Amino acid sequence: MFQSSHPFLRIEIFKFQVSHQKLEIDLRKIKTEVEIQDKNDSRQSSRIKKPIYNENKQCIRFDAGLFTNIEREIFIRISYKDILYKFQSNLKAFQKLSDGFRHQISFAPKAQAEILIEYKDPSIPKDSQLQTKLHGQRYAERYQSVLKHFGHRFVAKIFKTPTFCSICGDLLWGFAYKGFQCQRCDCVIHKDCYDRGVHACTGKQYADVETMKEHHFQQQQFSLQTIFCDHDGSFIKPGHSYKCMECSMVVHRRCRSKVGHYCGYQGNALEAYEIWKKKHKSDPDYNYQYNGDLCEIYSRFDRFDQLNNVKEVIQRMSKLHHSNTTSGFQMNEIQFLTTLGFGMTGSVYLVKRGECYYAMKTLRKNLILEGQNLEYVKSERDILIQCRSNPFIVKLFYAFQNVERLFFLMEVARAGTLFNILEYQAPKPFKQDRIVFYTGEIICALIFLHSKRIVYRDLKPENVFLFDNGHVKLGDFGLSKQNVDNNHKTKTMCGTAEYIAYEIYHRDSYDENVDWWSLGILIFELSTFKTPFYANNSTDITRNVLSDQVIYPETMIKETRQIISGLLERDPKRRLGNIISPHGLLKDQPFFREPYTFDAIENRLVRPPWTPTSLISFKTKTKIPQLSELDPKDALLLLSTPEDTFRNFSYISQDLITFL
């Protein structure tokens, strides 16, 4: 095992699976080789190790050292049945996966491994390992709603190929015709059809359901006829169709074992498709030729000799589609300087237009729609507009769009985020006046949001932005919700695991008081560099929040412990921040003391106790970032977007005189 005074990554492989095989491969039957290559200007060296299966941990474990001034590459080679599977990555990029959760990495040829990566620093005592260093940046989640019926678990899905509902036979495709798919058996339906199914999931029998008849599938002869699966509704490649000899149901080879025992109860999707074509033949928006092109493209997509063939079809189809764009906007007027961050649906760039600098958040339309996030993006825009005059919230200057993306043009936080400061500061503790000052400005932002009936729902150091004058502002309103108060609550399960409030985990309806819980977690992390309910996985975090008591370090001062204790009340009515809380008002807490009283912070009567010196450079980097090209399949999918989907998204602030 790797032993050094330098930080290192402990990597554990728990599962390995070849793509075409359903069963997991016994890790004791594979041979693993790991090569670490050092790269610098003068020479290149490498070290090879051959880790073996650890019976106690039931995984293959090895370590990889991290060095400040040396770039390192990691190569993982796995041999199984005389086939060598390879994986390669930069070790710094690998470090970003050290978040306490298992991740899947892909090998070539097609194979996957499930790994867990842990950051280790021998120079730091074990009981004070820093989570901000150990686990990297944390990401928020929004849990999908599940429709349950006869064992099925249906979740919303965007279908990239023409697909048909297994109940009514109607079309499901793209962003105009949305559907649901069972997580267990892949059955596809409309939302309105989910409770009309007569069959249980994957043939499971229920006491109150009559015994159903099993299908008898036989492979069909090769045919170029366009056929769709009657189970998952998608296109079947020629030669891969199986037909029931009694009820004529046609399915993929992969779907045979997933179809319920309901022979004779289902219609034929191909017949429904033919009827659908006849009904819409004269419809200019959804005519047969339009969808016939789609079937042709997707069934032959991988066999096109040149990408231009695809582009020609897309261009021809685009004549029927009027894309949403911001009139008069030219992307070539914006100069990209550097990348500030990445997200699930886009990136944030430092850009320049004229003599002004901005942070430009880009969101890909296809990913927004596929992730069912459109309402959240629209809400973020509306909230930023409502808060444009508040000094404690990041300012939006401009919102615009082109065919492929949405853009937010905002002010630049040149000192980064509180999370960046935590990483830089650790393990040296923050001075108390800085913790008090940052907390006060965050409270001012939350009070303003709550006065507008907005619940923030994602308070954490990553979303608190630090400016060059030492002030902080709240940003990233992707999970915020409007029209929420004590009389109008919500139930969406969302947030960043370590910061989610008790009542959300308890699956209760909740209001703006969840933000005060998150504030208590944030103050605790600023004071100790760790969160009070942290665990290596979300299940344990949930259990800790629901049942564990907070353990305060002996070094924490009484006033800080008092405000955290009040904010982490499990009863929202008693929680500090609620106006009826028995703990009193936030602004009157002894935590705020001269000169950093709450009134002084709110009215900007005191200077920030610390001014950052390390700022984001406005100089152009050698490698200039560029927006990535949209995949042709995704470009085609965007053509299904209803014309008014992004209508009225564009916005320009009255403060943005220089941009015009």
Domain with residue 350: its CATH number is 3.30.200.20
pLDDT tens-digit series, residues 326-340: 666 678 889 999 988
Distances 227 to 220, 268, 271, 313 between C-alpha atoms, Å: 11, 10, 10, 22
Give the whole-number percent of the chain exceeding pLDDT 90.
35
Residue identified by tokens 């050292």 is 65
Q: Examine residue 612 and state whether it is found in any structural domain, yes or no.
A: no
pLDDT score for 199: 65
Residues identified as active-site: 458
Signed CA dihedral, 496, 498, 500, 506: sign only: positive
Higher-pLDDT residue of 239, 63: 63
What are 6's two structure tokens? 């330098």
Q: Specify burial of residue 489 (Cβ count, 10 A radius: 0-12, 13-18, 19+).
A: middle
Quick one: residue 82, left, alpha or beta (phi over 0 = left, psi -120 to 50 = alpha)?
Answer: left
For 601-655, give the secondary structure using H, E and C. HHCCCCCCCCCCCCCCCCCCCCCCCCCCCCCHHHHHHHCCCCCCCCCCCCEECCC
Compute the distance between CA of residue 280 and CA of residue 285 in angstroms, rounded to an integer. Answer: 9
Q: Examine residue 325 and state whether it is found in any structural domain, yes or no.
A: no
Q: At 409, which helix (H) or strand (E)?
A: strand 405-410
pLDDT-derived band at 111 (thresholds 50, 70, 90) equals confident
Q: Examine residue 576 and state whether it is found in any structural domain, yes or no.
A: yes
Q: Examine residue 608 and state whether it is found in any structural domain, yes or no.
A: no
Last residue of a domain, one of 247, 276, 305: 276
Domain with residue 422: its CATH number is 1.10.510.10
> Which residues constitute the domain of residue 508?
418-602
| 17 shares its domain with 101 | yes
Domain with residue 212: its CATH number is 3.30.60.20
Compute the distance between CA of residue 555 and CA of residue 432 in angstroms, rounded to an integer. Answer: 12
| 451 shares its domain with 594 | yes
Q: Examine residue 593 and state whether it is found in any structural domain, yes or no.
A: yes
| 110 shares its domain with 151 | no
pLDDT-derived band at 345 (thresholds 50, 70, 90) equals low
| 270 shares its domain with 287 | no
What are 222's two structure tokens? 């090769």
Compute the distance between CA of residue 19 and CA of residue 148 in angstroms, rounded to an integer. Answer: 29
pLDDT score for 446: 97
| 380 shares its domain with 510 | no
Compute the distance between CA of residue 228 and CA of residue 128 in angstroms, rounded to an integer. Answer: 58
Domain with residue 59: its CATH number is 2.60.40.150
Q: Examine residue 573 and state whether it is found in any structural domain, yes or no.
A: yes
pLDDT tens-digit series, residues 545-577: 999 999 998 888 999 999 999 999 999 999 999
Overall domain count for the chain: 5
| 177 shares its domain with 260 | yes
Q: Examine residue 140 and state whether it is found in any structural domain, yes or no.
A: no
Q: Examine residue 3 and state whether it is found in any structural domain, yes or no.
A: no
| 94 shares its domain with 65 | yes
pLDDT score for 99: 61
Q: DSSP string of 440-500? A: HHHHHHHHHHHHTTEE----SGGGEEE-TTS-EEE---TT-EES-BTTB-B---EE-GGG-
What are 98's two structure tokens? 């050290």
Max distance between CA atoms of the chain, in angstroms, equals 85
| 254 shares its domain with 343 | no
By DSSP bridging, strand 31-39 and strand 44-49 are antiparallel
| 113 shares its domain with 205 | no
Strand, helix or coil for residue 264: coil
pLDDT score for 150: 66
Supply angle C-alpha 316, 322, 326, rounded to 5: 125
Distances 515 to 395, 501, 576 between C-alpha atoms, Å: 21, 8, 11
pTM of the model: 0.66
| 215 shares its domain with 118 | no
| 115 shares its domain with 193 | no
Which residue from 254, 256, 235 is spatially nearest to 245, judged by alpha carbons? 256
| 221 shares its domain with 170 | yes
